[in-house]
Amino acid sequence: QSALTQPASVSGSPGQSITISCTGPSSAFGDYNYVSWYQQHPFKAPKLMIYDVNNRPSDVSDRFSGSKSGNTASLTISGLRAEDEAHYYCSSYTNTNTILFGGGTKVTVL
């Protein structure tokens, strides 16, 4: 199964907004809304940031938001802060209930 496609890196200045895209096959995104996003700081376990395309766990800042259009999902970080510098991974279920991850995007705060 092919991984989901993300840009290798995205950068922005403090206070700005950035968007990370995630493109996948129709067998993954299709009519499903099982898209999630994870944040990973160096040498740490991934942390769930967004699930079901645009829902946030209670401990995640509302500066993080998600969306999906067709076979592309997006994560937007508003009001960028230094602590947002990390790798971000998108993930989706497929039509055979397996799980795909994107290759990861490194977010740099300039």
Partner 1 sequence: QVQLQESGPGLVKPSETLSLTCTVSGGSINSYYWSWVRQSPGKGLEWIGYIYYSGRTNYNPSLKSRVSISIAMSKTQFSLKVNSVTTADTAVYYCARILRLGDPLDIWGQGTVVTVSS
Question: Which is closer to partner 1, CB of 15 or CB of 41?
Answer: 41
Smallest gap from residue 58 Cβ to partner 1 (A): 11
Judged by the rule CB under 8 A, the positions of this chain that interact with partner 1 are 1, 3, 32, 34, 36, 38, 40, 45-48, 51-52, 57, 89, 91, 93, 96-104
Q: How far apart are CA 27 and CA 49, in angstroms?
A: 23
Smallest gap from residue 61 Cβ to partner 1 (A): 17
Question: Which is closer to partner 1, CB of 84 or CB of 93?
Answer: 93
Q: Are 19 and 73 in contact (CB under 8 A)?
A: no
Question: Which is closer to partner 1, CB of 17 or CB of 98?
Answer: 98
Question: Which is closer to partner 1, CB of 16 or CB of 27?
Answer: 27
Tell me the residue ranges of DSSP E strands in 9-77.
Answer: 9-12, 18-23, 35-40, 47-50, 64-69, 72-77
DSSP 75-108: EEE-S--GGG-EEEEEEEE-TTS-EEEB--EEEE
Smallest gap from residue 15 Cβ to partner 1 (A): 28
Q: How far apart are CA 81 and CA 97, in angstroms?
A: 35
Smallest gap from residue 14 Cβ to partner 1 (A): 26
